[in-house]
Structure 1
């Protein structure tokens, strides 16, 4: 049984140590083979050593866990405001309207959504993806949403410009 195992091991190891030959075929094309062809001048090809990867020794496990938490806290692949007109003014005669937040994956446990109006926090942070604005002046405003954890900003959406139209009746 030991001889059979040794023979199988030798058969497996032989292809790894096989030589490669380079030659020109009858059509003038460069060809490669593991056996030199009969009657054709073939040159052995010297191959560079195979790539190898050394096992990494584990670093500080606490730091690795902290890095993983930091990466998971920035794991929102989609964070944007929706439900806003982009080509026309938003009609809100009393200045009140809602915006929706599209977020993927779902909001994580301790994270909250905070609306930014013209670069300043607006309203109270919450975990509901529908945000209401009240008595907003007419004109152009920039809106964005932030994901926060305590006072730390985890991620922020791109700002969206919206023009609020309020009809004034005397």
Structure 2
């Protein structure tokens, strides 16, 4: 009974006071706030939990999680796959297929947007493939953006150069002249340009 009374006294001590314990001459454990009594040893006290004065206020940890949830998603890698950097594309119509990729894959609600010479060339969308046509002859650069649901830029690649070499029909015909059977089959060999077949100079005999 005396032990529990001493424990009650210990609880009643101020939380900021140091508590000591020792065994008295009768073999009883004694708790006190006086360090000089007997061979008293300090008793370690675990800090008490504290409640917020405003119970409706969100705890700091919850606020941290809320801020973390609002952090923008980060892609480890976004780049243009095709054409390769500094590639030369040959097309008489200035056509090419651009392919892009990301790691991890495109997240839900995000969209790719391709830029040619810093100008968007198509509506943003989930497809990583962009067909282009009538690209002017000369050097250009490509870049790709990833947009979120609000149209904000999440990621953007650096500009990647390529070179468009548009071969004219005349150059194609010069490189490979049109044969009689090519007219109407090859774009550079239209039917209207097919020469008339030479007629034989020998008259048929009756």
TM over 0.5: yes
Q: Which residue of 2 aligns with 1:128?
A: 127
- Give the superposition deviation at 1:113: 0.1
Post-superposition Cα deviations, 1:66-105, rounded to whole Å, max 9, x if no partner, equal 433424x22x111000121435411122111111112111
Runs of 5+ in structure 1 lacking a partner? Answer: 1-56
Which structure features the higher share of strand residues? 1
Alpha-carbon separation, structure 1, partners of 2:133 and 2:64: 44
**Mapping of residues 93-104 of structure 1, within 5 Å:** 93-104=92-103
Runs of 5+ in structure 2 lacking a partner? Answer: 1-57, 171-206
Q: How many equivalent residue pairs?
A: 112
Query: TM-score, normalised on structure 1?
Result: 0.59
Which has more radius of gyration? 2
Q: Which residue of 2 aligns with 1:139?
A: 138
Superposition misfits of 4+ residues, deviation over 2 angstroms:
57-71, 85-88
Q: Which residue of 2 aligns with 1:65?
A: 66
Distance 1:66 1:116, change over 3 A: farther
Aligned-residue RMSD, C-alpha = 2.2
- Give the superposition deviation at 1:161: 0.5
Q: Which residue of 2 aligns with 1:161?
A: 161
